[in-house]
Amino acid sequence: DPSIWARAFQKFCESRPELAAYYTEHLDSIGNSAPGEKKAKPSLLQTIDQIVKKLHHHREQKQWKISLVGKDIKIREQAEKFAKFLLWSDPIVKDALSAQPYAALAWSGVSFLLSLLTTGSSQHTAMLDGFDVVNNMIVYWHICEETYLKTPRAHKLENNLVVAVTKLYSLLIEYQARAICHLSQRQLSRAWEKVAGGNEWAERIEQIKVDNERCKSMIDTVREQQIQAKYDEQLRTMQESQIILDKIRQALEESKALSQSHYADQLERTLLHDLASDYEGYKNSNARRVKGTCEWFFQDPRFHKWRDVGDSGVLWVSAGSGCGKSVLSRALIDEGRLSTHVTTSTVCHFFFKQGDERRTSAASALSAIVHQLFTRNSGGSNMMANAICRHRSYGSSLASNFTELWDIIVHYARSPDAGEVVCILDAFDECDEQGRKALLEQFQGFYCLQSSMTDSHTRLKFLVTSRPYDGLELALRKLSKAGKLAHIEGDSMWRQISWEINLVIDDRMSAITAPASIDNSCRDLISDKLKSMEHRTYLWVCLTLDRIEKTPSRFCRARDIEEFFSSLRPRPEVSQAYEGILSGGADRKQTEMLLSIIAAAQRPLTLDEANIALTLALDDTMPASIHDVNPWPHDRFKDVVQSLCGSFVTVSDGELSLFHQTARDFLLVGSNSGSRDGGTWQGCLTLPQSHSSMSRSCLYYLRLLADNTSSNSFAYLDPKEYQTLQQDYPFLSYAAAHWSTHYLAASTTPDSPDKDHALSLCNPAHAHVWAPKHLSRVHFLRWWAWSDLALASYTGLAPVVEDILSHCEKRGTEHGTALRIADARGYAGVVALLLEHGADASRGARGNGHTTPPEVAEVGGHAEVVE
């Protein structure tokens, strides 16, 4: 083998014979056949040829994967670098297998090291850093060989350079041999210690660097600059290649799945259970991006800078409604585009959504992030110790404790083994106002006051998407002044986004015309018309295409298509598209009632829940019995929803939700500044009226259950057993948890019959149908021993409390219990009513006289109640 690497290996054997003997023996043990099988000893070249082919087979079988769970952050960083080098160099090794086995061996050194890295520790950092330098030099001189040393001129005139590079290669081989033997069992041998000498890895690599620079100085300046430019480009590709990152990410996930503990520790399991939510489902409820879209963001240098900088910071992405922000967020997560450091980064996410109580709270977002940190990190379960300590103090309520959750995240990010933490908060403007304010305050406190001395290794990054609004921009201004904020305005990229929307149009049109219901000429005409609309958004295009897809027969003639598009305003309006969808509903009354129910619901209703809620809301009077409730057939209700609302309402995983946040704004009076503009659906609902409809459905259902069941059927059931009753009573779980919320938010008049139903449910004889669910988070409350006054006070039903007080004599003990409950819950109106009717604010609870209601309110943070 006349290659430089072959000569370099020979030089290594001559200059370091004992080390070479250990190394070749180690190589021979890898290349040998099954243990005990006796064969003639092969030559060194044959041994190396066998080894590189075996290592290549291991690569193809993906046997380079190792578990990094629980490993030191430095080990994880180096393992990722080595894996990137291995995957990037795979084509080079394949080409060298037959012609240049010694070169293939040098390129395969990283394969040896990865297989031994499970024995590595932070003590080997200097050695691994040096091995990384060796790998980079191999890349550089490979480029030099391919572009310079193979030229005829180089063979004739650059013999000195070839000799110098041969010496350098021998030093690289020597370093690889020392590192590999050091991590193998050879390090336990005294003989090996004598051969290896000291482990001055930094000094050895510095000497290699000197030889490397000497070789580079022998190349003319122009050539050297060309080689350096190609080298920099290759290193960047090695670092950022999406294909390489995806392979490492897949290997890491498989490794975690195999080695991830089942959280044998009961404390860990309980903590994770209490923090868990369906954050993956929230993300996946958004569509996948069409290929070629979102490039306006992927290629933005501001995004690259935020992603690649080794520092903490916030990236705010703002764009108008319907511009595809949530689709972008999902793509960033699913495609692994948020970090180029796979093994040392943890990506977390939360998708806010107004109208779903599970997705509007800042505490819910932080709880989901903490859960992801502990289930996705590679630092092992020891990273959970701080959170477990807090969980002991707060129990399941930790999942709703914003301050504690934020502290857990910051504590985690500041851990030396945390690596990089990247969090996406999508649709931040749909987080409730109090939660937005709290998060922004924490951002300001963390990023503006972050000490460069104490937080030099902390990398906590947030990517926030929202519609543009002044309040958020003002709140983030402090971060901008501190250099911790980057802002990408999607609205300023509308030309690029419009071009990408055309890709969505092409994709959707090909799907619509798959059954050939619309011929090619009409398809092209529709496509051209859609693309010609200026200021189009993803949302408007999707809504318009939904209308076409629903009734393709109406778009089979060019004349019909021209008439349809001429009826649209010059500027595409989402509201007009919504009007078009709802105008095709089968029954106006039923459609409006179903939309009221969905708009008021505290979380997305299941099909069965919505079926019963709609049935009861449409009844003028309460049915005589639970058996007289007559919903639509279970397997037909989805079709009913589609016939009433079309694509305005989506059904995903059996749950109903409005198509988009703008759909909710479109329906509700006061949610948008525009007038109804002649439309028949825009602004057709008010929230109080919607809550009235939902309140009535809940009250009817619970009253009917209370009248038709005994308290023994419900009262002492375990929460899980209570949940199983859903099969028999599908609307029970929702109605029990939320009836009082809807009642309080409804436009109820003093003489409304709904008040009588609410009063009846507060009767201890009827509370068994809702209290187990309503009070499930407060296990210590003995609600079955409470009076009607105490139950009404707990739910904050001031009208019901007033009615009870006006029809009963003063009952000191009961008034005191009710007052204490209302204090703890922070219901100032109920507290005032109780005080007016003689409740004693100075009396403590029975058996605990030193704690008065005002003291309870003060502890709970209810200043209004204390006053």
pLDDT tens by residue, 647-702: 889 898 899 998 888 888 899 876 554 444 445 899 999 999 999 999 999 999 99
Q: Are 762 and 788 in contact (CB under 8 A)?
A: yes
pLDDT at 233: 92
Least confident piece of the model among 51-60, 347-356, 585-594: 51-60
CA trace torsion 62, 67, 72, 74 (10° rounding)? 0
Any bridge partners for residue 486, and if so which?
A: 315
Gap between the Cα atoms of 702 and 725, Å rounded: 13
Residue 813 in this model has a pLDDT that exceeds 50:
yes
Residue 423 CB coordination number (10 Å): 24
Q: Are 7 and 166 in contact (CB under 8 A)?
A: yes
Q: Are 425 and 464 in contact (CB under 8 A)?
A: yes
Q: Please give the share of the chain, as a percent, with pLDDT higher than 70.
A: 80
Per-residue model confidence as pLDDT tens digits over 831-849? 888 888 777 666 544 444 4
Q: Domain spans of the chain?
A: 4-246, 261-494, 513-572, 581-771, 786-867
Q: Is the pTM of this model over 0.85?
A: no
Tokens of 616: 């009861």
Residue 811 in this model has a pLDDT that exceeds 90:
no
CA trace torsion 606, 611, 612, 613 (10° rounding)? 80
Reported CATH class of domain 786-867: mainly alpha
Per-residue model confidence as pLDDT tens digits over 146-195? 887 766 655 554 678 888 999 999 999 999 988 888 877 555 454 555 55
CA trace torsion 715, 717, 720, 721 (10° rounding)? -110
Gap between the Cα atoms of 275 and 272, Å rounded: 5
pLDDT at 629: 92
Q: Are 790 and 827 in contact (CB under 8 A)?
A: no
What angle separates helix 402-413 from helix 385-394, to the nearest 10 degrees?
170
At 599, is the pLDDT very low, low, confident or very high (cuts 50, 70, 90)?
very high
Gap between the Cα atoms of 203 and 185, Å rounded: 24
Exposure of 753 in the CB half-sphere (CA atoms within 13 A) = 9
pLDDT at 69: 64
Any bridge partners for residue 465, and if so which?
A: 317
Under DSSP, the state recorded for 149 is I
At 471, is the pLDDT very low, low, confident or very high (cuts 50, 70, 90)?
confident
Q: b/e string for 489-518 if b means 16 or more Cβ within 10 A?
A: ebeebbeebbebbbebbbebbeebbeeeeb
Q: Are 694 and 752 in contact (CB under 8 A)?
A: no
pLDDT at 440: 94
Residue 35 CB coordination number (10 Å): 6
Residue 177 CB coordination number (10 Å): 23
At 863, is the pLDDT very low, low, confident or very high (cuts 50, 70, 90)?
very low
Gap between the Cα atoms of 577 and 574, Å rounded: 5
Q: Are 242 and 335 in contact (CB under 8 A)?
A: yes
First-last CA distance in the chain: 92
Gap between the Cα atoms of 327 and 312, Å rounded: 25
User: If you average pLDDT over residues 625-648, what whole number do you get?
Assistant: 91
pLDDT at 58: 59
- Cα dist from 328 to 347, 394, 497, whole Å: 15, 36, 12
Side by side, the strands of the sheet bearing 313-318 are: 345-351, 420-426, 459-466, 313-318, 485-489
Tokens of 30: 């890898």
Least confident piece of the model among 279-283, 349-353, 400-404, 450-454: 450-454
Q: Are 313 and 485 in contact (CB under 8 A)?
A: yes
Q: Please give the share of the chain, as a percent, with pLDDT higher than 90.
A: 36
Q: Which residues contact 85 (CB under 8 A, 6 or more apart)?
A: 110, 135, 139, 238
Per-residue model confidence as pLDDT tens digits over 417-452? 888 999 999 999 999 999 999 999 999 999 887 655
Residue 598 in this model has a pLDDT that exceeds 70:
yes
Please report which helix (H) or strand (E) contains residue 485, including its range: strand 485-489
pLDDT at 404: 96
Gap between the Cα atoms of 163 and 161, Å rounded: 5
At 230, is the pLDDT very low, low, confident or very high (cuts 50, 70, 90)?
very high
Can you say whether residue 572 is alpha, beta or left, with left for phi > 0 and alpha for psi between -120 and 50 degrees? beta
Least confident piece of the model among 22-36, 237-251, 269-283: 22-36
Classify 831 as helix, strand or coil.
Answer: helix
Tokens of 80: 């990722």
- Cα dist from 622 to 626, 675, 699, 761, 768, whole Å: 10, 36, 9, 15, 20
Gap between the Cα atoms of 352 and 425, Å rounded: 7
Handedness of CA 41, 42, 48, 50 (dihedral sign): negative
User: If you average pLDDT over residues 55-80, what whole number do you get?
Assistant: 67
Classify 351 as helix, strand or coil.
Answer: strand
Gap between the Cα atoms of 219 and 221, Å rounded: 6
pLDDT at 750: 64
Reported CATH class of domain 261-494: alpha beta
Biggest alpha carbon–alpha carbon distance for the chain: 114
Least confident piece of the model among 202-206, 216-220, 378-382, 543-547: 378-382
Least confident piece of the model among 213-217, 600-604, 776-780: 776-780
Gap between the Cα atoms of 34 and 225, Å rounded: 49
pLDDT at 860: 43
Residue 205 CB coordination number (10 Å): 22
- Cα dist from 135 to 130, 142, 501, whole Å: 9, 11, 43
Residue 555 in this model has a pLDDT that exceeds 90:
no
pLDDT at 200: 81
Residue with tokens 């709290």: 438
Per-residue model confidence as pLDDT tens digits over 4-62? 888 999 999 999 988 888 888 777 776 554 444 445 555 666 667 777 777 666 555 55
Residue with tokens 């044959």: 46
pLDDT at 1: 43
Q: Which residues contact 61 (CB under 8 A, 6 or more apart)?
A: none
At 125, is the pLDDT very low, low, confident or very high (cuts 50, 70, 90)?
confident
At 127, is the pLDDT very low, low, confident or very high (cuts 50, 70, 90)?
confident
Q: Give 583 or 284, the one with higher predicted confidence.
A: 284
- 261-494 and 786-867 have identical folds: no
Residue 776 in this model has a pLDDT that exceeds 70:
no
pLDDT at 265: 76
In whole angstroms, how large is the CA radius of gyration of the chain? Answer: 34
Q: Are 27 and 47 in contact (CB under 8 A)?
A: yes
At 245, is the pLDDT very low, low, confident or very high (cuts 50, 70, 90)?
confident
- Cα dist from 134 to 174, 205, 212, 438, 535, whole Å: 10, 8, 10, 49, 54
| Contacts made by residues 251-255, CB under 8 angstroms, sequence distance 24+ | 251/62, 251/64, 251/65, 251/83, 252/68, 252/342, 252/343, 252/378, 254/65, 255/65, 255/66, 255/67, 255/68, 255/69
Handedness of CA 256, 258, 262, 264 (dihedral sign): negative
Residue with tokens 């001189």: 141
pLDDT at 748: 66
User: If you average pLDDT over residues 200-227, what whole number do you get?
Assistant: 90
pLDDT at 275: 95
3-state SS string for 39-51: CCCCCHHHHHHHH
Gap between the Cα atoms of 458 and 170, Å rounded: 40
